[in-house]
A and B are shown apart, each in its own frame.
Chain A
């Protein structure tokens, strides 16, 4: 498996672990405090903002360890090197992931417009953001295997 493919797989795994862990922490461990607040917009704003900060901090920490691993595993290679093929794959896969997120973002308003509770909007937004990001990495793996 190439460095770029390893990076994509690593991104998928770390994203799943971070969002899974954060959801478990919020709605599993602290379910009693947080579940009654699910219709509170302020709760969701805090939930998403905290999630963004947690994700950034954890990704930086995990990436440091991952880069150490890559440096050891690929001693003779420049792990930061990207050529035109890598850049084109990255652009195309990011575009596909972003399309999914935009679709989810628009769809998130539908339940609220139909009179459903506000948590549906945030859940769909969060889901589309997560799946969009993960899909981008899945597309990356697909393009590396099947070509552009």
Chain B
């Protein structure tokens, strides 16, 4: 159940941080390695808190870790209430 509209650069960022392992990143932000695997593969969109922690580990802005493509986001807009 990958989310196409939310992409991430965690694999690239790990590479540029001396090939930081998934386990080391997981330990750093307080999650399991399995969670990092799921986030990296786009199978799980993390909470804002975890997203900020990841950005903090790589010392970059959140937008450098996660990118959002609105054109691919299929969500149902709420209809405005009739007055």
Residues of A within 8 A of B (CB): 2, 4, 81, 83-86, 144, 146-148
CB of B43 closer than 8 Å to a CB of A? yes
Instruction: Look across to chain A and name the residue whose beta carbon is closest to the beta carbon of B2.
Output: A147
Quick one: CB contact mask for B32-60 with A, threshold 8 Å, 1 for yes? Answer: 10110010011111110010000000000
Residues of B within 8 A of A (CB): 1-2, 30-32, 34-35, 38, 41-47, 50
A contact patch SS: helix
Q: How far is the CA of A147 from the CA of B38 in the complex (A)?
A: 7
Given A84-B46, A85-B38, residue A148 in contact with residue B1 (CB < 8 A): yes
Partner pick for B32 among A2, A146, A147, A148, CB 8 A cutoff? A2
State whether B41 touches A85 (Cβ < 8 A). no
In the assembled complex, 22 residue pairs joining A and B whose CB atoms fall closer than 8 Å, in A order, are: A2-B32, A81-B32, A83-B30, A83-B31, A83-B35, A84-B31, A84-B47, A85-B31, A85-B32, A85-B34, A85-B35, A85-B38, A85-B44, A85-B46, A144-B34, A146-B43, A147-B38, A147-B42, A147-B43, A148-B1, A148-B38, A148-B45
B8 to nearest A CB, angstroms?
A: 13
Given A84-B50, A85-B35, A85-B38, residue A148 in contact with residue B30 (CB < 8 A): no
Residues of A within 8 A of B32 (CB): 2, 4, 81, 83, 85-86
Q: How far is the CA of A147 from the CA of B47 in the complex (A)?
A: 14
Residues of B within 8 A of A81 (CB): 32
A92 to nearest B CB, angstroms?
A: 11
